[in-house]
A and B are shown apart, each in its own frame.
Chain A
Amino acid sequence: MPRRIVTGIQSVGHRVIDSIWRLGYASRFFLLTLIKSGTSLHRFTLVIRELYFTGVQSLIIILVSGLFVGMVLGLQGFETLQRYGAESAVGTMVALSLLRELGPVVSALLFASRAGSAITAEIGLMKATEQLAAMEMMAVDPIARVVAPRFWAGVISMPLLAALFSAIGIYGGYLVAVVLIGVDEGSFWSQMQSAVDFRYDVVNGIIKTCVFGVAVTAIAVFEGYDAAPTAEGVSGATTRTVVTSSLAILGLDFILTSFMFRGMG
Protein backbone atom coordinates (compact mmCIF):
# COMPACT_ATOMS: atom_id res chain seq x y z
CA MET A 1 0.00 0.00 0.00
CA PRO A 2 2.66 2.61 0.91
CA ARG A 3 4.37 1.74 -2.34
CA ARG A 4 1.27 2.80 -4.30
CA ILE A 5 1.13 6.08 -2.40
CA VAL A 6 4.77 6.72 -3.17
CA THR A 7 4.26 6.07 -6.90
CA GLY A 8 1.20 8.30 -6.81
CA ILE A 9 3.13 11.17 -5.29
CA GLN A 10 5.96 10.51 -7.71
CA SER A 11 3.66 10.75 -10.72
CA VAL A 12 2.15 14.00 -9.46
CA GLY A 13 5.60 15.46 -8.94
CA HIS A 14 6.68 14.21 -12.34
CA ARG A 15 3.71 15.93 -13.97
CA VAL A 16 4.37 19.21 -12.17
CA ILE A 17 8.05 19.21 -13.11
CA ASP A 18 7.17 18.23 -16.66
CA SER A 19 4.69 21.09 -17.05
CA ILE A 20 7.12 23.61 -15.59
CA TRP A 21 9.78 22.34 -17.98
CA ARG A 22 7.36 22.71 -20.88
CA LEU A 23 6.44 26.23 -19.78
CA GLY A 24 10.09 27.20 -19.76
CA TYR A 25 10.63 25.60 -23.15
CA ALA A 26 7.53 27.38 -24.52
CA SER A 27 8.77 30.75 -23.25
CA ARG A 28 12.18 30.16 -24.80
CA PHE A 29 10.49 29.16 -28.05
CA PHE A 30 8.29 32.27 -27.98
CA LEU A 31 11.33 34.49 -27.52
CA LEU A 32 13.16 32.68 -30.29
CA THR A 33 10.17 33.24 -32.59
CA LEU A 34 10.23 36.96 -31.84
CA ILE A 35 13.97 37.19 -32.40
CA LYS A 36 13.86 35.29 -35.69
CA SER A 37 10.80 37.07 -37.09
CA GLY A 38 13.01 39.52 -38.97
CA THR A 39 13.01 37.28 -42.05
CA SER A 40 9.23 37.01 -42.18
CA LEU A 41 8.87 40.78 -41.94
CA HIS A 42 11.50 41.10 -44.65
CA ARG A 43 9.80 38.61 -46.94
CA PHE A 44 6.27 39.74 -46.25
CA THR A 45 4.79 37.42 -48.91
CA LEU A 46 5.28 34.59 -46.44
CA VAL A 47 3.06 36.37 -43.95
CA ILE A 48 0.49 37.26 -46.62
CA ARG A 49 0.18 33.60 -47.56
CA GLU A 50 -0.49 32.70 -43.94
CA LEU A 51 -2.86 35.67 -43.56
CA TYR A 52 -4.91 34.09 -46.31
CA PHE A 53 -5.14 30.77 -44.47
CA THR A 54 -5.68 32.09 -40.94
CA GLY A 55 -7.51 35.34 -41.63
CA VAL A 56 -9.46 35.13 -44.87
CA GLN A 57 -10.54 31.54 -44.39
CA SER A 58 -11.80 32.30 -40.87
CA LEU A 59 -13.98 35.12 -42.19
CA ILE A 60 -17.10 33.05 -42.87
CA ILE A 61 -17.33 31.49 -39.42
CA ILE A 62 -16.52 34.81 -37.71
CA LEU A 63 -19.09 36.78 -39.70
CA VAL A 64 -21.89 34.22 -39.38
CA SER A 65 -21.40 33.67 -35.66
CA GLY A 66 -21.02 37.43 -35.09
CA LEU A 67 -24.33 38.05 -36.80
CA PHE A 68 -26.09 35.40 -34.74
CA VAL A 69 -24.54 36.48 -31.45
CA GLY A 70 -25.66 40.05 -32.13
CA MET A 71 -29.15 38.92 -33.07
CA VAL A 72 -29.50 36.83 -29.91
CA LEU A 73 -28.22 39.75 -27.82
CA GLY A 74 -30.79 42.02 -29.43
CA LEU A 75 -33.59 39.56 -28.73
CA GLN A 76 -32.59 38.78 -25.15
CA GLY A 77 -31.73 42.39 -24.37
CA PHE A 78 -35.10 43.52 -25.65
CA GLU A 79 -36.94 40.89 -23.58
CA THR A 80 -35.20 42.00 -20.39
CA LEU A 81 -35.08 45.76 -20.95
CA GLN A 82 -38.73 45.85 -22.00
CA ARG A 83 -39.74 45.01 -18.42
CA TYR A 84 -38.22 48.28 -17.25
CA GLY A 85 -39.52 50.26 -20.18
CA ALA A 86 -35.96 50.83 -21.37
CA GLU A 87 -36.10 48.96 -24.67
CA SER A 88 -34.37 51.82 -26.48
CA ALA A 89 -31.24 50.99 -24.47
CA VAL A 90 -30.96 47.69 -26.31
CA GLY A 91 -28.44 49.22 -28.70
CA THR A 92 -26.24 50.26 -25.80
CA MET A 93 -26.43 46.80 -24.30
CA VAL A 94 -25.59 45.02 -27.56
CA ALA A 95 -22.71 47.38 -28.37
CA LEU A 96 -21.13 47.36 -24.92
CA SER A 97 -21.34 43.62 -24.42
CA LEU A 98 -19.93 42.98 -27.90
CA LEU A 99 -17.14 45.54 -27.72
CA ARG A 100 -16.00 44.80 -24.21
CA GLU A 101 -16.43 41.04 -23.86
CA LEU A 102 -18.19 38.95 -26.44
CA GLY A 103 -16.46 40.30 -29.53
CA PRO A 104 -12.89 39.70 -28.34
CA VAL A 105 -13.58 36.49 -26.41
CA VAL A 106 -15.91 34.64 -28.78
CA SER A 107 -13.93 35.55 -31.88
CA ALA A 108 -10.71 34.47 -30.14
CA LEU A 109 -12.30 31.14 -29.16
CA LEU A 110 -13.48 30.63 -32.74
CA PHE A 111 -10.08 31.67 -34.03
CA ALA A 112 -8.37 29.18 -31.72
CA SER A 113 -10.49 26.31 -32.94
CA ARG A 114 -10.55 27.35 -36.59
CA ALA A 115 -7.04 28.68 -37.22
CA GLY A 116 -5.03 27.66 -34.15
CA SER A 117 -5.78 23.96 -34.60
CA ALA A 118 -4.90 24.20 -38.30
CA ILE A 119 -1.55 25.84 -37.52
CA THR A 120 -0.70 23.15 -34.97
CA ALA A 121 -1.71 20.31 -37.27
CA GLU A 122 0.25 21.78 -40.18
CA ILE A 123 3.48 22.34 -38.23
CA GLY A 124 3.06 19.02 -36.41
CA LEU A 125 2.66 17.15 -39.70
CA MET A 126 5.65 18.98 -41.15
CA LYS A 127 7.61 17.72 -38.18
CA ALA A 128 6.20 14.18 -38.45
CA THR A 129 7.10 13.97 -42.14
CA GLU A 130 10.54 15.39 -41.33
CA GLN A 131 10.11 18.48 -43.45
CA LEU A 132 11.39 20.64 -40.63
CA ALA A 133 14.48 18.44 -40.30
CA ALA A 134 14.98 18.67 -44.05
CA MET A 135 14.85 22.46 -43.85
CA GLU A 136 17.50 22.44 -41.16
CA MET A 137 19.64 20.24 -43.40
CA MET A 138 19.35 22.90 -46.10
CA ALA A 139 20.40 25.54 -43.58
CA VAL A 140 16.91 27.07 -43.58
CA ASP A 141 15.80 27.92 -40.09
CA PRO A 142 12.33 26.36 -39.64
CA ILE A 143 11.45 28.86 -36.90
CA ALA A 144 12.18 31.80 -39.18
CA ARG A 145 10.66 30.20 -42.29
CA VAL A 146 7.65 28.27 -40.92
CA VAL A 147 6.84 29.40 -37.38
CA ALA A 148 7.33 33.17 -37.42
CA PRO A 149 5.13 33.92 -40.49
CA ARG A 150 2.27 31.91 -39.00
CA PHE A 151 2.69 33.67 -35.68
CA TRP A 152 2.60 37.16 -37.19
CA ALA A 153 -0.29 36.31 -39.49
CA GLY A 154 -2.31 35.23 -36.45
CA VAL A 155 -1.37 38.33 -34.48
CA ILE A 156 -2.37 40.59 -37.38
CA SER A 157 -5.62 38.87 -38.29
CA MET A 158 -7.03 38.47 -34.76
CA PRO A 159 -7.88 42.16 -34.10
CA LEU A 160 -9.31 42.54 -37.60
CA LEU A 161 -11.50 39.46 -37.18
CA ALA A 162 -12.70 40.63 -33.77
CA ALA A 163 -13.55 44.09 -35.13
CA LEU A 164 -15.54 42.47 -37.92
CA PHE A 165 -17.26 40.24 -35.37
CA SER A 166 -18.30 43.19 -33.20
CA ALA A 167 -19.38 45.34 -36.13
CA ILE A 168 -21.52 42.67 -37.74
CA GLY A 169 -22.88 41.69 -34.32
CA ILE A 170 -24.07 45.24 -33.72
CA TYR A 171 -25.78 45.20 -37.12
CA GLY A 172 -27.32 41.83 -36.15
CA GLY A 173 -28.69 43.44 -33.00
CA TYR A 174 -29.95 46.35 -35.12
CA LEU A 175 -31.67 43.90 -37.47
CA VAL A 176 -33.56 42.20 -34.66
CA ALA A 177 -34.27 45.18 -32.41
CA VAL A 178 -35.06 47.86 -34.99
CA VAL A 179 -36.14 46.06 -38.15
CA LEU A 180 -37.99 43.08 -36.65
CA ILE A 181 -39.21 44.29 -33.24
CA GLY A 182 -39.51 47.99 -34.00
CA VAL A 183 -37.37 49.80 -31.44
CA ASP A 184 -36.91 53.41 -32.50
CA GLU A 185 -33.94 53.64 -34.83
CA GLY A 186 -32.79 57.08 -33.71
CA SER A 187 -32.68 56.22 -30.03
CA PHE A 188 -31.02 52.88 -30.80
CA TRP A 189 -28.01 54.57 -32.40
CA SER A 190 -27.89 57.74 -30.32
CA GLN A 191 -28.06 55.98 -26.96
CA MET A 192 -25.37 53.63 -28.18
CA GLN A 193 -23.17 56.51 -29.27
CA SER A 194 -23.56 58.38 -26.01
CA ALA A 195 -22.74 55.28 -23.95
CA VAL A 196 -19.86 53.82 -25.97
CA ASP A 197 -16.59 55.64 -25.44
CA PHE A 198 -13.93 55.19 -28.09
CA ARG A 199 -11.00 55.13 -25.69
CA TYR A 200 -12.52 53.01 -22.95
CA ASP A 201 -14.62 50.55 -24.89
CA VAL A 202 -13.32 50.26 -28.45
CA VAL A 203 -9.58 50.64 -27.75
CA ASN A 204 -9.69 48.36 -24.70
CA GLY A 205 -11.45 45.74 -26.80
CA ILE A 206 -8.73 46.01 -29.46
CA ILE A 207 -6.00 45.66 -26.83
CA LYS A 208 -7.75 42.53 -25.58
CA THR A 209 -7.87 41.00 -29.05
CA CYS A 210 -4.19 41.74 -29.64
CA VAL A 211 -3.30 39.94 -26.42
CA PHE A 212 -5.55 37.01 -27.35
CA GLY A 213 -4.05 36.87 -30.83
CA VAL A 214 -0.51 36.63 -29.43
CA ALA A 215 -1.56 34.01 -26.86
CA VAL A 216 -3.50 31.79 -29.28
CA THR A 217 -0.94 31.76 -32.07
CA ALA A 218 2.00 31.39 -29.68
CA ILE A 219 0.33 28.34 -28.14
CA ALA A 220 -0.60 26.96 -31.57
CA VAL A 221 2.88 27.22 -33.10
CA PHE A 222 4.53 25.88 -29.96
CA GLU A 223 2.23 22.85 -29.71
CA GLY A 224 2.81 22.11 -33.38
CA TYR A 225 6.58 22.43 -33.09
CA ASP A 226 6.64 20.40 -29.89
CA ALA A 227 4.29 17.64 -31.14
CA ALA A 228 5.49 14.07 -31.03
CA PRO A 229 6.25 13.15 -34.65
CA THR A 230 3.49 10.55 -34.92
CA ALA A 231 -0.14 10.62 -36.01
CA GLU A 232 -1.15 10.30 -32.37
CA GLY A 233 1.22 13.07 -31.32
CA VAL A 234 -0.18 15.50 -33.89
CA SER A 235 -3.77 14.78 -32.91
CA GLY A 236 -2.91 15.21 -29.22
CA ALA A 237 -1.10 18.49 -29.94
CA THR A 238 -4.09 19.81 -31.90
CA THR A 239 -6.43 19.03 -29.01
CA ARG A 240 -4.03 20.63 -26.55
CA THR A 241 -3.89 23.78 -28.67
CA VAL A 242 -7.65 24.25 -28.57
CA VAL A 243 -7.98 23.40 -24.87
CA THR A 244 -4.98 25.43 -23.68
CA SER A 245 -5.71 28.48 -25.79
CA SER A 246 -9.39 28.51 -24.80
CA LEU A 247 -8.42 28.44 -21.13
CA ALA A 248 -5.74 31.07 -21.76
CA ILE A 249 -8.27 33.33 -23.49
CA LEU A 250 -10.77 33.11 -20.64
CA GLY A 251 -8.13 33.56 -17.94
CA LEU A 252 -6.46 36.48 -19.71
CA ASP A 253 -9.86 38.04 -20.31
CA PHE A 254 -10.58 38.09 -16.61
CA ILE A 255 -7.20 39.64 -15.81
CA LEU A 256 -7.46 42.26 -18.56
CA THR A 257 -11.05 43.15 -17.67
CA SER A 258 -10.18 43.65 -14.02
CA PHE A 259 -7.44 46.06 -15.07
CA MET A 260 -9.40 47.89 -17.76
CA PHE A 261 -12.91 48.33 -16.49
CA ARG A 262 -12.44 48.57 -12.76
CA GLY A 263 -14.44 51.42 -11.33
CA MET A 264 -15.86 52.32 -14.74
CA GLY A 265 -19.37 53.66 -14.83
Chain B
Amino acid sequence: MQRATMDLWVGLFVMAGIGALLVLALKVGNLGTYSANDSYQVTGNFENIGGLKVRAPVKSAGVVVGRVTDIQFSTETYDALVIMNIDTRYKFPKDTFASILTSGLIGEQYIGLAAGGDEATLKDGDTIMKTNSALVLEEMIGKFLFNKASEGGSNENSGKN
Protein backbone atom coordinates (compact mmCIF):
# COMPACT_ATOMS: atom_id res chain seq x y z
CA MET B 1 0.00 0.00 0.00
CA GLN B 2 1.15 3.51 -0.82
CA ARG B 3 2.41 5.46 2.11
CA ALA B 4 0.21 8.45 1.26
CA THR B 5 -2.96 6.34 1.30
CA MET B 6 -1.90 4.82 4.58
CA ASP B 7 -1.30 8.25 6.08
CA LEU B 8 -4.72 9.35 4.88
CA TRP B 9 -6.44 6.39 6.51
CA VAL B 10 -4.54 6.80 9.75
CA GLY B 11 -5.39 10.49 9.76
CA LEU B 12 -9.06 9.70 9.23
CA PHE B 13 -8.92 7.11 12.00
CA VAL B 14 -7.36 9.52 14.49
CA MET B 15 -9.83 12.23 13.55
CA ALA B 16 -12.77 9.85 13.96
CA GLY B 17 -11.45 8.77 17.35
CA ILE B 18 -11.04 12.33 18.58
CA GLY B 19 -14.48 13.14 17.16
CA ALA B 20 -15.94 10.26 19.16
CA LEU B 21 -14.25 11.59 22.29
CA LEU B 22 -15.77 15.01 21.62
CA VAL B 23 -19.21 13.43 21.17
CA LEU B 24 -18.79 11.60 24.46
CA ALA B 25 -17.70 14.79 26.20
CA LEU B 26 -20.27 17.19 24.77
CA LYS B 27 -23.32 15.22 23.71
CA VAL B 28 -23.25 12.36 26.21
CA GLY B 29 -21.42 13.94 29.13
CA ASN B 30 -22.17 17.17 30.89
CA LEU B 31 -19.19 19.12 29.62
CA GLY B 32 -21.48 21.00 27.26
CA THR B 33 -23.68 22.17 30.10
CA TYR B 34 -20.74 23.41 32.11
CA SER B 35 -20.73 27.08 31.39
CA ALA B 36 -17.50 29.00 31.15
CA ASN B 37 -19.07 31.59 33.41
CA ASP B 38 -17.66 32.30 36.82
CA SER B 39 -19.50 31.24 39.89
CA TYR B 40 -19.78 32.41 43.45
CA GLN B 41 -19.77 30.23 46.50
CA VAL B 42 -22.45 30.17 49.14
CA THR B 43 -22.87 27.90 52.13
CA GLY B 44 -26.02 26.49 53.61
CA ASN B 45 -26.42 24.83 57.03
CA PHE B 46 -28.85 21.97 56.91
CA GLU B 47 -30.11 19.93 59.83
CA ASN B 48 -30.30 16.85 57.66
CA ILE B 49 -29.23 16.52 54.05
CA GLY B 50 -30.74 13.09 53.46
CA GLY B 51 -29.11 11.57 50.41
CA LEU B 52 -27.69 14.76 48.88
CA LYS B 53 -24.39 14.18 47.11
CA VAL B 54 -21.54 16.31 45.85
CA ARG B 55 -22.20 17.46 42.25
CA ALA B 56 -25.95 17.50 42.85
CA PRO B 57 -27.66 20.35 40.98
CA VAL B 58 -28.84 23.57 42.59
CA LYS B 59 -32.11 24.59 40.97
CA SER B 60 -34.35 27.56 41.13
CA ALA B 61 -37.77 27.34 39.50
CA GLY B 62 -36.55 24.10 37.96
CA VAL B 63 -33.59 25.71 36.20
CA VAL B 64 -30.11 24.51 37.10
CA VAL B 65 -28.26 27.54 38.50
CA GLY B 66 -25.32 25.83 40.18
CA ARG B 67 -23.86 22.70 41.69
CA VAL B 68 -23.04 21.36 45.14
CA THR B 69 -19.25 21.35 45.39
CA ASP B 70 -18.66 20.08 48.91
CA ILE B 71 -20.50 18.66 51.88
CA GLN B 72 -18.99 18.90 55.35
CA PHE B 73 -20.06 18.24 58.88
CA SER B 74 -19.77 21.02 61.42
CA THR B 75 -18.79 19.92 64.92
CA GLU B 76 -19.84 23.32 66.31
CA THR B 77 -23.48 23.24 65.34
CA TYR B 78 -23.73 19.55 64.48
CA ASP B 79 -25.20 20.57 61.17
CA ALA B 80 -24.29 19.66 57.65
CA LEU B 81 -22.47 22.40 55.73
CA VAL B 82 -23.36 22.31 52.06
CA ILE B 83 -21.11 24.42 49.85
CA MET B 84 -22.49 25.26 46.45
CA ASN B 85 -21.25 27.19 43.46
CA ILE B 86 -23.84 29.38 41.81
CA ASP B 87 -23.43 30.92 38.39
CA THR B 88 -22.68 34.65 38.60
CA ARG B 89 -25.39 35.29 36.01
CA TYR B 90 -27.96 34.49 38.67
CA LYS B 91 -28.27 36.85 41.63
CA PHE B 92 -30.34 35.80 44.61
CA PRO B 93 -31.66 37.94 47.47
CA LYS B 94 -30.06 37.51 50.89
CA ASP B 95 -33.16 35.92 52.39
CA THR B 96 -33.34 33.18 49.77
CA PHE B 97 -34.81 29.96 51.06
CA ALA B 98 -32.81 26.77 50.34
CA SER B 99 -34.44 23.39 50.69
CA ILE B 100 -33.39 19.88 49.79
CA LEU B 101 -35.88 18.38 47.40
CA THR B 102 -36.21 15.13 45.52
CA SER B 103 -36.92 14.94 41.81
CA GLY B 104 -39.67 12.39 41.47
CA LEU B 105 -40.47 9.71 43.99
CA ILE B 106 -37.17 7.85 43.77
CA GLY B 107 -35.13 10.43 41.89
CA GLU B 108 -31.94 12.18 42.90
CA GLN B 109 -31.89 14.92 45.51
CA TYR B 110 -31.13 18.51 44.70
CA ILE B 111 -31.17 21.92 46.34
CA GLY B 112 -34.08 24.14 45.47
CA LEU B 113 -33.68 27.90 45.91
CA ALA B 114 -36.76 30.04 46.42
CA ALA B 115 -35.98 33.75 46.14
CA GLY B 116 -36.96 36.05 48.98
CA GLY B 117 -37.69 39.77 48.91
CA ASP B 118 -34.48 41.30 50.22
CA GLU B 119 -32.80 44.10 48.27
CA ALA B 120 -29.25 42.88 49.00
CA THR B 121 -28.03 39.90 47.04
CA LEU B 122 -25.94 36.90 48.07
CA LYS B 123 -22.23 37.37 47.52
CA ASP B 124 -19.26 35.03 47.40
CA GLY B 125 -18.73 33.39 50.80
CA ASP B 126 -22.17 34.21 52.14
CA THR B 127 -24.29 31.80 54.13
CA ILE B 128 -27.91 31.09 53.37
CA MET B 129 -29.86 31.64 56.57
CA LYS B 130 -33.14 29.98 55.80
CA THR B 131 -32.84 26.31 55.06
CA ASN B 132 -35.17 23.37 55.02
CA SER B 133 -33.90 19.86 55.61
CA ALA B 134 -34.44 16.88 53.42
CA LEU B 135 -37.53 14.84 53.96
CA VAL B 136 -36.45 11.50 55.35
CA LEU B 137 -39.01 8.91 54.45
CA GLU B 138 -38.46 6.84 57.60
CA GLU B 139 -39.11 9.86 59.83
CA MET B 140 -42.26 10.68 57.91
CA ILE B 141 -43.55 7.14 58.22
CA GLY B 142 -42.64 7.19 61.90
CA LYS B 143 -44.57 10.41 62.44
CA PHE B 144 -47.50 9.07 60.49
CA LEU B 145 -47.61 5.88 62.53
CA PHE B 146 -47.27 7.88 65.76
CA ASN B 147 -50.16 10.09 64.72
CA LYS B 148 -52.25 7.08 63.85
CA ALA B 149 -51.51 5.52 67.21
CA SER B 150 -52.35 8.68 69.16
CA GLU B 151 -55.48 9.05 67.05
CA GLY B 152 -56.59 5.63 68.18
CA GLY B 153 -55.79 6.43 71.83
CA SER B 154 -57.50 9.82 72.14
CA ASN B 155 -59.42 11.43 69.33
CA GLU B 156 -58.94 15.03 70.50
CA ASN B 157 -55.20 14.85 69.79
CA SER B 158 -55.66 13.91 66.15
CA GLY B 159 -55.03 17.38 64.79
CA LYS B 160 -51.73 17.77 66.58
CA ASN B 161 -48.60 16.97 64.71
Residues on A close to B: CB < 8 A? 45, 48-49, 51-52, 55-56, 59, 95, 99, 157, 159-161, 163-164, 166-168, 170, 189, 192-194, 196-198, 201-202, 206, 265
**A167-B23, A194-B57, A196-B29 provided; 20 other pairs, C-beta below 8 A?**
A48-B10, A51-B10, A52-B9, A157-B13, A159-B17, A160-B13, A160-B14, A160-B20, A163-B20, A164-B16, A167-B28, A170-B28, A192-B28, A193-B29, A193-B30, A197-B29, A197-B30, A198-B29, A202-B21, A202-B24
A59-B57 Cα distance, complex, nearest whole Å: 38
The interface residues of chain B lying within 8 Å CB-to-CB of A194 are 30, 57
**Cβ of B143 < 8 Å from any Cβ of A?**
no
The interface residues of chain A lying within 8 Å CB-to-CB of B25 are 198, 202
**Cβ of B148 < 8 Å from any Cβ of A?**
no
**Cβ of B6 < 8 Å from any Cβ of A?**
yes
Q: A55-B13, A198-B30 are in contact. Are A163 and B6 (CB under 8 A)?
A: no
Number of interface residues of B (CB under 8 A): 29
Residues on B close to A: CB < 8 A? 1, 3, 6-7, 9-10, 12-14, 16-18, 20-21, 23-25, 27-34, 53, 55, 57, 108
Q: Is there contact, CB below 8 Å, between B17 and A193?
A: no
Chain A residue with the shortest CB-CB distance to B12: A56
Question: Out of B7, B9, B24, which one reaches A166, CB within 8 Å?
Answer: B24
Q: Is there contact, CB below 8 Å, between B33 and A193?
A: yes
The interface residues of chain A lying within 8 Å CB-to-CB of B3 are 45, 49
A52-B6 Cα distance, complex, nearest whole Å: 6
The interface residues of chain A lying within 8 Å CB-to-CB of B21 are 159-160, 163, 202, 206
Offer 25 A-B interface pairs, CB within 8 angstroms, sorted by A. A51-B13, A52-B1, A52-B9, A52-B10, A55-B10, A55-B14, A56-B9, A56-B13, A95-B28, A157-B13, A159-B17, A159-B21, A160-B21, A164-B16, A166-B24, A167-B24, A170-B28, A193-B27, A193-B33, A196-B29, A198-B25, A198-B29, A202-B24, A202-B31, A265-B108
A163-B31 Cα distance, complex, nearest whole Å: 16
Measured between C-beta atoms, what is the minimum distance from A156 to chain B in Å? 8
Measured between C-beta atoms, what is the minimum distance from B17 to chain A in Å? 3
A95-B31 Cα distance, complex, nearest whole Å: 15
Q: Is there contact, CB below 8 Å, between A56 and B17?
A: no
Measured between C-beta atoms, what is the minimum distance from A229 to chain B in Å? 28
Chain A residue with the shortest CB-CB distance to B103: A194
Chain B residue with the shortest CB-CB distance to A94: B28
